[in-house]
């Protein structure tokens, strides 16, 4: 016949096992419900804004604007590109911008093609580009978001 002390000795370990199991279960259920909140930013929204070309010569400063193209994924329009092309389309990926070959008419006849790539670091956007055609040159635009 078991004494009350022996019954208590058997009951305490059983209670600890049950409590430990319940605690582990509660922790697992609680942690499973936790999710890290993430806010997704559309890739083209990273570039959106008005930029000012940086130059020590005020005559060489100008502004251009980058806006998302709603109908195309990861695509933006650059208005007043290099202060001489009204609208250029570019694709975006992270902080990188790519200008695939685009052809534009030149006043007085002829045409030029434009390609380029850029990178956004903070509020500074650097775009290296090439113009080929009736006028050919390579350019660099370093601009700060206003």
Taking only the tens place, the pLDDT of each residue in 67-107 is 999 999 999 999 999 999 999 999 999 999 999 999 999 98
Structure token pair of residue 56? 């020590």
pTM: 0.71
Angstrom distance (rounded) from CA 24 to CA 28:
6
Is residue 31's pLDDT more than 70? no
Strand partners, 132: 113
pLDDT band at 135 (very low <50, low <70, confident <90, very high): confident
Is residue 27's pLDDT more than 90? no
Q: What pLDDT shows up at residue 56? A: 92
Q: What pLDDT shows up at residue 99? A: 99
Angstrom distance (rounded) from CA 65 to CA 115:
18
Angstrom distance (rounded) from CA 138 to CA 146:
25
More confident residue, 65 or 6: 65
pLDDT band at 45 (very low <50, low <70, confident <90, very high): confident
Q: What pLDDT shows up at residue 43? A: 66
């Amino acid at each position: 016949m078991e004494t009350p002390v022996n019954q208590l000795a058997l009951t305490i370990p059983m209670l600890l096992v049950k409590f430990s199991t319940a605690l582990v279960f509660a922790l697992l259920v609680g942690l499973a419900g936790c999710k890290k909140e993430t806010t997704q930013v559309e890739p083209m929204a990273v570039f959106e804004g008005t930029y000012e070309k940086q130059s020590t010569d005020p005559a060489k400063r100008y502004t251009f604007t980058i806006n998302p193209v709603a109908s195309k994924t990861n695509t933006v329009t650059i208005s007043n590109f290099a202060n001489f092309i009204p609208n250029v389309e570019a694709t975006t990926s992270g902080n990188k911008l790519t200008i695939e070959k685009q052809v534009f008419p030149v006043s007085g006849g002829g045409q030029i093609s434009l390609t380029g790539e850029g990178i956004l670091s903070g509020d500074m956007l650097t775009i290296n580009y090439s113009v080929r055609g009736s006028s050919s040159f390579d350019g660099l635009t370093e601009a700060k978001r206003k």
